[in-house]
C-alpha cells in the first residue's frame, strides 16, 4: 500500500461534508439511457447486443515499486466500445473506484458522444485503480509507463488514441507519448491533451469548460437569461469545472457556489474563480478562500441559482438529493452525473438538462483538432481552435435541440438517439451488423 503524504492530502472534515455518490453505478446509469433510446429507435435484439457490449476489453496488471521497496499491483483497463466511425477515442482516469464495469460504461458513452458531435472517432475509455493523492515520488509516472507498455498493442494513431480524464493531465499524456515512442518511434498523434510544447493543441485544456459555456449560451435565450443576470453553481473544481466557471465569470455571470473534494463554499455576490484557482494552485483550500462561507453539499445543491454544472464524478445527482435542486438549467460537465431516478425527478420539476454526451464534448472535439494538427505536422492558433469548437458545438446543440422539440422528448433522449442512430448507420454500411 502507498503511504500517505499528510502535506498533500486534502483536508476533509468529515464524510457528511463530501458529496456522496448514488448507490447506482455508472454502468447502470449508461445502460438505462441506452435502453430508453434503443427502445424508442426500435433497435432489433441482435443490433442491440452489438451496441450494448464492448468490441474489446483489456485488463492488465500495473506493478509499481514503492519508496519502501515493495511492489504494489494496480489494475489497468482499456475498453474499446465501438470503432465503426473511426479510431477508438477516450480518456484514461486514475481513481481508486475504477473497475471494469465503470470503464465499460464510459467507453460506451464516448461512442455516442463522438457521434453526437459528428467527429470521425469511435468510443473507448481507460483507467487505473490508483489514488493519485496517495502516490509518492515518481509513482504516477511509473504507473503511466507500465500501463502503456501493457496496452500499446491495441493503441495507435489510427487504432485508439487516449486522452486526459479524471486525475490525469498533460504531463501524464507526455509520459504516455514518450513510452509509446520508445517502441514505435516519435508519434505525437498517439495521445491528445499533450503539453503544447510536445504537439498539444492550443485551447485543449480549456475546451471541455468552453464547450459547457457554449451550451449555456445556446440554452440561455430560451430561459430568458443573459450572462450578466445568471447565477451559477459549479460542482467540482477540477479541469472541467474550473474552466467552465472562469469562462462564465468572464462573460459576466456570478458563480455563487463551488465544491471540490474537500467541501463546498458559497458567496452570494459571486466567487472570483480566477483568484480561487490561483489560491488552490498555491496550496490553499476552498474553505479558507477570502469572503466565502463554507456550506454542506446539500446546501450547495439547494442554492437558488439559474444554472447548475455538475463537473465532478458520476452519480453525484441522485434520488437522495435531486429534489433539493432549484436551478433552471443543468449542464452536465461530468460523465453520467445524473442517475435515472434523479433524471425523472428533475424532469417533473421542469428543469432542463443538457446531457453529458453533448455538454462535455468540447474536450474530445478539440482532441480531434489536436490529432488532425499532429497528422498534418501543423499548428493552428487558439482563435482558430476556439472558432472551430464553437461552430461544431453549436451545430450539435441545435441538432439535438430540434430533435428534442420535434419528438417532444428530453435533450438526453434526443442526444442518445442521435448518437446511437449514427453509429448503427455506419456499422450497417460497413457490414458489421
Ligand atoms: N476524457 C474526456 C471525455 O470524457 C476527453 C476524451 C478525449 O479527448 O478523447 O470526453
* Alpha helical stretches, state H, 185-272: 204-219, 239-250
For ligand 1, pick from 106, 165, 167 the residue to mutate: most ligand atoms within 8 Å of CB: 165
Cβ of 114 closer than 6 Å to ligand 1, yes or no, is no
For the domain 207-359, what is the CATH code? 3.40.50.720
**Cα dist from 261 to 237, 264, 289, whole Å:** 9, 8, 15
DSSP single-letter state for residue 87: S
The alpha carbon torsion through 141, 142, 144, 150 (nearest 10 deg) reads 160
pLDDT tens, N- to C-terminus, the chain (433 residues) = 333 333 333 333 333 456 777 789 999 999 999 999 999 999 999 999 999 999 999 999 999 998 889 999 999 999 999 999 999 999 999 999 999 999 999 999 999 999 999 999 999 999 999 999 999 999 999 999 999 999 999 999 999 999 999 999 999 999 999 999 999 999 999 999 999 999 999 999 999 999 999 999 999 999 999 999 999 999 999 999 999 999 999 999 999 999 999 999 999 999 999 999 999 999 999 999 999 999 999 999 999 999 999 999 999 999 999 999 999 999 999 999 999 999 999 999 999 999 999 999 999 999 999 999 999 999 999 999 999 999 999 999 999 999 999 999 999 999 999 999 999 999 999 999 9
Sequence ranges of the chain with CATH classification 3.40.50.10860? 54-198
Cα of 294 vs centre of ligand 1, distance in Å, is: 31
Residue 89 Cα: closest atom of ligand 1: 9
In CATH, the architecture of 54-198 is 3-Layer(aba) Sandwich (3.40)
Active site residue 125: yes
CA-nearest of 171, 165, 167 to 367 is 165
CA 187 to each of CA 93, 194, 358, 375: distance values in angstroms, whole numbers, following the listed order? 21, 12, 29, 9
Q: How far is the centre of ligand 1, averaged over its atoms, from the C-alpha of 123 (Å)?
A: 10
CA distance 227 to 166: 28
| Residue 348, φ and ψ in degrees, nearest 5 | -60, -30
Q: Judge whether 211 and 393 are in contact, CB under 8 Å.
A: yes
- Contact 127 CB / ligand 1 (< 6 Å): no
Strand ranges of the sheet holding 293-295, from the earlier edge strand across to the other edge: 293-295, 263-266, 254-260, 231-235, 307-310, 329-331, 352-354
User: Is there an atom of ligand 1 within 6 Å of 364 CB?
Assistant: yes
The residues of the chain that CATH labels 3.40.50.720 are: 207-359
Tell me the pTM: 0.95
| Ligand 1 lined by 90 (C-beta under 6 Å) | yes
Kind and range of the H or E run holding 184: helix 170-184
Amino acid at each position: 500500500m502507498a503511504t500517505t503524504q499528510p502535506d498533500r492530502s486534502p483536508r476533509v472534515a468529515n464524510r457528511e461534508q463530501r458529496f456522496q455518490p448514488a448507490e447506482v453505478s455508472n454502468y447502470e446509469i449508461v445502460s438505462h439511457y441506452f435502453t430508453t433510446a434503443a427502445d424508442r429507435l426500435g433497435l432489433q435484439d441482435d443490433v442491440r447486443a452489438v451496441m450494448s457490449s464492448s468490441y474489446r476489453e483489456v485488463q492488465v496488471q500495473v506493478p509499481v515499486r514503492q519508496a519502501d521497496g515493495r511492489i504494489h499491483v494496480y489494475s489497468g483497463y482499456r475498453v474499446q466500445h465501438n470503432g465503426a466511425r473511426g479510431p477508438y477515442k477516450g480518456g484514461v482516469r486514475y481513481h481508486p473506484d475504477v473497475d471494469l464495469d465503470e470503464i465499460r460504461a464510459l467507453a460506451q458513452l464516448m461512442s455516442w458522444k463522438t457521434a453526437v458531435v459528428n467527429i470521425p472517432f469511435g468510443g473507448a475509455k481507460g483507467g487505473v485503480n490508483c489514488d493519485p493523492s496517495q502516490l509518492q515520488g515518481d509513482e504516477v509516472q511509473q504507473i503511466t509507463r507500465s500501463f502503456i507498455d501493457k496496452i500499446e498493442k491495441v493503441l495507435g494513431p489510427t487504432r485508439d488514441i487516449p486522452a486526459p480524464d479524471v486525475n490525469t493531465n498533460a504531463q501524464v499524456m507526455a509520459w504516455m507519448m514518450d513510452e509509446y515512442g520508445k517502441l514505435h518511434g516519435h508519434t505525437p498523434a498517439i495521445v491528445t491533451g499533450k503539453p503544447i510544447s510536445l504537439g498539444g493543441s492550443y485551447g485543449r485544456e480549456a475546451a471541455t469548460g468552453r464547450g459547457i459555456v457554449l451550451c449555456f449560451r445556446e440554452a440561455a435565450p430560451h430561459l430568458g437569461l443573459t450572462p450578466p443576470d445568471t447565477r451559477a453553481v459549479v460542482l467540482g473544481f477540477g479541469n472541467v469545472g474550473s474552466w467552465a466557471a472562469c469562462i462564465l465569470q468572464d462573460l459576466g455571470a456570478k458563480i455563487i457556489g463551488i465544491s471540490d473534494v474537500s467541501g463546498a463554499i458559497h458567496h452570494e455576490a459571486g466567487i472570483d474563480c480566477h483568484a480561487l484557482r490561483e489560491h488552490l494552485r498555491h496550496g490553499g483550500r476552498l474553505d479558507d478562500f477570502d469572503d466565502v462561507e463554507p456550506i454542506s453539499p446539500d446546501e450547495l445543491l439547494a442554492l437558488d441559482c439559474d444554472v447548475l454544472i455538475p463537473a465532478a464524478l458520476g452519480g453525484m445527482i441522485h434520488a437522495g438529493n435531486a429534489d433539493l435542486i432549484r436551478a433552471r438549467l443543468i449542464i452536465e460537465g461530468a460523465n453520467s452525473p445524473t442517475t435515472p431516478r434523479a433524471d425523472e425527478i428533475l424532469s417533473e420539476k421542469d428543469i432542463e438538462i443538457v446531457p453529458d454526451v453533448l455538454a462535455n464534448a468540447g474536450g474530445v472535439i478539440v482532441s480531434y483538432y489536436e490529432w488532425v494538427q499532429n497528422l498534418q505536422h501543423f499548428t493552428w492558433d487558439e482563435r482558430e481552435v476556439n472558432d472551430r469548437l464553437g461552430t461544431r458545438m453549436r451545430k450539435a446543440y441545435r441538432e439535438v435541440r430540434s430533435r428534442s422539440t420535434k419528438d417532444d422528448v428530453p435533450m438526453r433522449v434526443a442526444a442518445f438517439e442521435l448518437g446511437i442512430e449514427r453509429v448503427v448507420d455506419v456499422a450497417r454500411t460497413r457490414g458489421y451488423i
